[in-house]
Amino acid sequence: MDREVFQEQFGLLGTSNEMRQVIDKIMQVAKTDISVLLQGESGVGKDVTARAIHALSERKRNNLIIVNCGAIPEGIIESELFGHEKGAFTGANESREGYFEKANGGTIFLDEIGDTPKNVQVKLLRVLENGEFFRVGSSKVQTTDVRVIAATNLNLWKLVQDGTFREDLYYRLDTVQIHLPPLRDRQEDIIPIFRKFVQEFSSRYDSVFKGFSDEARELLISYRWPGNIRELRNVAEQLVVLEKSQFIDAERLQKYLKGRQRQGSADNLPMVSDQKESNNQQQQDFDRRDRELVYRALVELRTDISDLKKMLANFMYSTMSNKDIKALPPALQSDLENKDGADVSINLDDYATLGVQSAPKVNEQEVEESEESAMMRFFGGDAIPSIEATEQFLIKQALEKFDGNRRKASETLGISERTLYRKLDQYGLA
């Protein structure tokens, strides 16, 4: 079967070199019974790839059983995979086939294989080795003839080194490994895939999509797509349904880009192409698009720093107004006192909308130097703290000061309570 026909038939979209290598490998192994391990981030299409392998195999007329190992509770996963006999445990009112029996003669797709409990891993190894297993509550050996495709978004070898995944099972699964690249690593595929999704949804919902601006196109390409193909598909569907007959500009598109990448964090830096060129001179030269992306990254970084300084100013002003606060270390507090021991007040007139009023004015340069020296001391000498580290520090201190009261903490930091909740989730502080 031709590669293009294969991709069109099974929905494995993309013409990049990375995808061509994936497709070629799939077509090589599909007609065999060899075990395949699919690796890649969530949303890259591991389930679609498994279906394509089965549909192209000699087992295509038999069942393809899909099992999400991470979604099955540990207490019942053995019963789900291998079945059980009547009376094997409370609630086992009748005998039941497991997934391996149902997949006999066909293919079983074990998604999120890295989440499988270790006591089940040894039984999976036996099935892969000789097709033998026991139902729960039975001493009778059962046999099955299945082709195993496994998938994970974890580093299985690291799990082996950590002792949470059996090394022998790893080698048995890793006969052929297919790595599905994230969407951000094949940027040339983003626009064609997006257009295909738009056509699909426009036809389904009888809608008209009027296209998007050059800025929106650049945003589609530079966005990191943490949800990969799944997220791109969702965005295309939302635009077709909710922005019906509207021309899409960057501002309108950005409303539908979820995750940290559009929220002003450090991860919002657009990507610069890192493709290797054969010529050393070409490696050193940016093309026009790369220069634009770098410029945009610098602009967004400047915005991040500005927002952070506002947060820092609010926090320092609030802290100095309460002598009982113990959140700040002595080194930081010492920089906030003048030579006479009086508190230094920060000019927050520009931040009146953040809830701080009538703050005494001081020299802005002195305040900026005080802020910077204090943060430098706290985060370790000459080391410059990252934006994320500084934000985490301020959020933690504000929450400690107000005993976890998020409303008061957000007011002190000069951000909305909604933004605070997002930051807590972003940094895993919830």
Residue 338 phi/psi, 5° resolution? -85, -175
| Cα–Cα nearest to 63, from 13, 22, 37, 98 | 98
Which CA distances in Å does 276 have to 21, 85, 142, 288? 17, 58, 52, 17
* Domain match, 112 and 200 both: no
How would you classify residue 120: left for phi > 0, otherwise alpha for psi between -120 and 50, otherwise beta? Answer: alpha
Which CA distances in Å does 262 have to 213, 226, 384, 424? 18, 11, 24, 16
* Domain match, 207 and 176 both: no
| Cα–Cα nearest to 272, from 292, 245, 243, 246 | 292
* Domain match, 34 and 160 both: yes
Q: 152: domain CATH number?
A: 3.40.50.300
pLDDT tens digits in sequence order for the chain, 430 residues long = 678 888 888 888 898 999 999 999 999 999 999 999 999 999 999 999 999 999 999 999 999 999 999 899 988 999 999 999 988 888 888 889 999 999 999 999 999 999 999 999 999 999 999 999 999 998 899 999 999 999 999 999 999 999 999 999 999 998 999 999 999 999 999 999 999 999 999 999 988 888 889 999 999 999 999 999 999 999 999 999 998 778 899 988 998 987 544 333 334 444 444 444 444 444 444 454 455 555 555 555 655 565 566 566 565 555 554 444 444 444 444 444 443 444 444 343 443 333 434 444 445 555 445 545 555 555 555 556 677 778 888 888 888 888 888 888 877 887 877 778 778 877 777 6
Distance CA 239, CA 58 (A): 40
* Domain match, 45 and 174 both: yes
Asked whether the beta carbons of 80 and 123 are under 8 A apart, the reply is no
Element (H, E) at 152: strand 147-152
* Domain match, 189 and 169 both: no
* Domain match, 150 and 188 both: no
The residue segments making up the domain with residue 118 are 3-181
**Three-class DSSP category at 151:** strand
Within-domain flag for 100: yes
* Domain match, 11 and 155 both: yes
Copy the structure tokens of residue 210: 């009027």
Distance CA 366, CA 350 (A): 16
Sequence-ordered list of residues with C-beta below 8 angstroms from that of 222, at least 6 positions apart, any chain: 270, 271, 293, 296
User: How many domains does the chain contain in total?
Assistant: 3
Q: Is the pTM of this model over 0.85?
A: no
Copy the structure tokens of residue 172: 């048995």
